[in-house]
Amino acid sequence: MVFALSAEGTAPLYQQIREGIRNDIAARALLPGSKLPSSRQLAADLHVSRITVANAYAELEADGLIESRAGSGTFVSPVWNIDARIDRRTPFTSPSWQQRMVSIPDPVRDRMLREASRPAEETGVIAFACAHGDVRLFPMGELQKTMTEVLREDGAVALGYDSPHGYPPLRQFLATYLLQHGMQVSADDVIITAGAQQGIDLIARALLQSGDAVAVESPTYAGVFECMESRAIRTVGIGLDAGGMDVAELQRVLERDHPKLIYTVPTFHNPTGAVMTAARRRELVTLAHRFDVPILEDDYMREVRFGSPIPPPIASFDQHGDVIYVGSFSKSLIPSLRLGYVVARGSLRDQLISLKGATDRCCSTLLQRVLWRLLERGTLFTYWKRASRIYRRRQLVMLGALRTHFPLGSQWHAAEGGFGVWVGVPPRVSVTALFDQAISAGVSIAVGAAFFPEPDDQPFMRLGFAAVEEQHIERGIAKLGRLIQVQLAQHKGAGTSAPEPG
């Protein structure tokens, strides 16, 4: 063996050994099938401890490069060696089966969603595209303590598989919590999912087939289009105002389009912030039952609000079991927990549990145990209260900045909770163009088009305030305002240079 160890290198010794042997094999200084020195001998040769060599050998063996044979020693793997297979490589061409994708996502929506999902730290931009809470506010010490507690007290079972149904104490806690919101729920009815998104996706998989229609508010949460479009399920948009979905329009859609599901975000509607009135919630469940169509209530966040009372969930008005309820801990708490839940009953519940297993077996029992302890202890309720006050201040800063920097003809609505402001701009503004211009200027926005069933350019954008600090909000909105003014000026300029005939 020809390599030498360096005490100065940053790589640990065992990695240097591993690297050295790997290079020797690649350079054919060590031939396939040849015997390596014993770890004792090599340790003596290299003046390192035997465990260092053993570690290097263990990794090389895991790499498939060497093999230890009981009683006879350690050998370079006889048949395959890495360089021979790698060297003769040409870049892959695209086989024809690659043309047979079942569906291709909408490019506008896809790009916007990818932008919104990029961590602000990665992009370095003022991330108005994100509409979720600010994880920097979360008491890190509390989380660290709880994690250590779970690992110490629950032990190895916290590392194993959970059932697809979910961790029983967490399901029990949620059942009690929802009971307090007036819902009739047992722990058996609660299924833990990887965020609300997986809940929606599993429900679609259980209930809908390609060609079916789903009634949704228009605009609505963009993730629901991703889920439905990739299954070739049609979405039928229904208008809404500050009091939520237009129930009369829903009735016409139920009669005309026979949707198989009504999807709604009644509380702090995403993206508009609307809160459905109690009266409409009642009407909705009555209509759903009359037409025998289930409601999927996406209650992604009730906990962050700015004062005014909000009506209880639609599910609490349900007398017949027509409402499937989805909740989440991503946007309001810690996205990285990847935990949400579905409340469902009867054969739908059983089917969802099976599909959860078919999809990804189960959620992390470790993270479920951490969440349960944080909930049980009340930490989270205190956190939500505190965070709400901070988000409220950020919202007010954004509203003030919009008044200062956005042009006449812009509109917005100050929601009583949630994480973003839905802003309408004059129709001559291209928000899709603004998206690119804003990225170049260091600001990200959520393009309004992404929230509509037909993602054409729409004069709307959603500006998330909750995860952006106050000083950046003012600066970011000012930048957007200037970019919009430039667009309007160009538009005017274009209008002047090419006057209407006549």
336 touches a second copy (CB under 8 A): yes
User: Which one of residues 92, 471, 498, 501 is an interface residue with a second copy (CB under 8 A)?
Assistant: 92
2 touches a second copy (CB under 8 A): no
Q: How far is the CB of 193 from a second copy (least distance, A)?
A: 8
Stretch that binds a second copy, among 178-186, 234-242, 404-412, 433-441 (CB under 8 A): 178-186
Closest to a second copy by CB, 63 vs 410, is: 63
163 touches a second copy (CB under 8 A): yes
User: Which one of residues 6, 34, 144, 411 is an interface residue with a second copy (CB under 8 A)?
Assistant: 144
Give, in order, the Cα–Cα distances in Å from 215 to each of 181, 262, 274, 288, 300.
25, 5, 17, 11, 18
Q: Which 203-222 positions form the footprint of a second copy (CB under 8 A)?
A: 205-210
Closest to a second copy by CB, 307 vs 499, is: 307
Q: Which residue has the tokens 């951490």?
A: 370
Q: Which of 456, 457, 455 is nearest to 224 (CA)?
A: 455
Q: Which of 125, 137, 129 is nearest to 472 (CA)?
A: 125
First to last CA, the chain: 88
Stretch that binds a second copy, among 193-201, 415-423, 453-461, 474-482 (CB under 8 A): 193-201
Closest to a second copy by CB, 170 vs 207, is: 207
181: tokens are 């919101």
Give the angle 185-197-275 at the CA atoms, nearest 5°.
70
Q: What are phi and psi of 269, to 5 degrees?
A: -45, 135
Hey, is 76 helix, strand or coil? strand
Q: How far is the CB of 194 from a second copy (least distance, A)?
A: 4
How many other CB atoms are there within 10 angstroms of residue 291's CB atom? 16
Q: How far is the CB of 162 from a second copy (least distance, A)?
A: 7
78 touches a second copy (CB under 8 A): yes
361 touches a second copy (CB under 8 A): yes
Q: How far is the CB of 347 from a second copy (least distance, A)?
A: 5
Q: Which 100-139 positions form the footprint of a second copy (CB under 8 A)?
A: 100-105, 110, 113-114, 117-121, 130, 132, 135-136, 138
Number of residues that bind a second copy (CB under 8 A): 140
Q: Are 403 and 479 in contact (CB under 8 A)?
A: no
Q: Which 422-481 positions form the footprint of a second copy (CB under 8 A)?
A: none
User: Which one of residues 7, 124, 255, 309 is an interface residue with a second copy (CB under 8 A)?
Assistant: 309
If 0-12 CB within 10 Å is exposed, 13-18 middle and 19+ buried, where does residue 143 land? middle
Strand partners, 236: 215
Cα 43 from Cα 56, distance rounded (Å): 11
393 touches a second copy (CB under 8 A): no
182 touches a second copy (CB under 8 A): yes
187 touches a second copy (CB under 8 A): no
Cα 464 from Cα 419, distance rounded (Å): 6
H or E segment to which residue 368 belongs:
helix 365-376
x-or-dash string of contact with a second copy, 315-334, rule CB under 8 A = -xx-xxxx-------x---x
Q: How far is the CB of 482 from a second copy (least distance, A)?
A: 29
93 touches a second copy (CB under 8 A): yes
152 touches a second copy (CB under 8 A): yes
Q: How far is the CB of 430 from a second copy (least distance, A)?
A: 24
Give, in order, the Cα–Cα distances in Å from 357 to each of 194, 296, 352.
12, 21, 9
Cα 165 from Cα 189, distance rounded (Å): 9
Q: State the DSSP string of 28-68.
A: TSS-TTPBPPPHHHHHHHHTS-HHHHHHHHHHHHHTTSEEE
Q: How far is the CB of 355 from a second copy (least distance, A)?
A: 6
x-or-dash string of contact with a second copy, 240-279, rule CB under 8 A = --------------------x-----------------x-
User: Which one of residues 63, 188, 246, 249 is an interface residue with a second copy (CB under 8 A)?
Assistant: 63
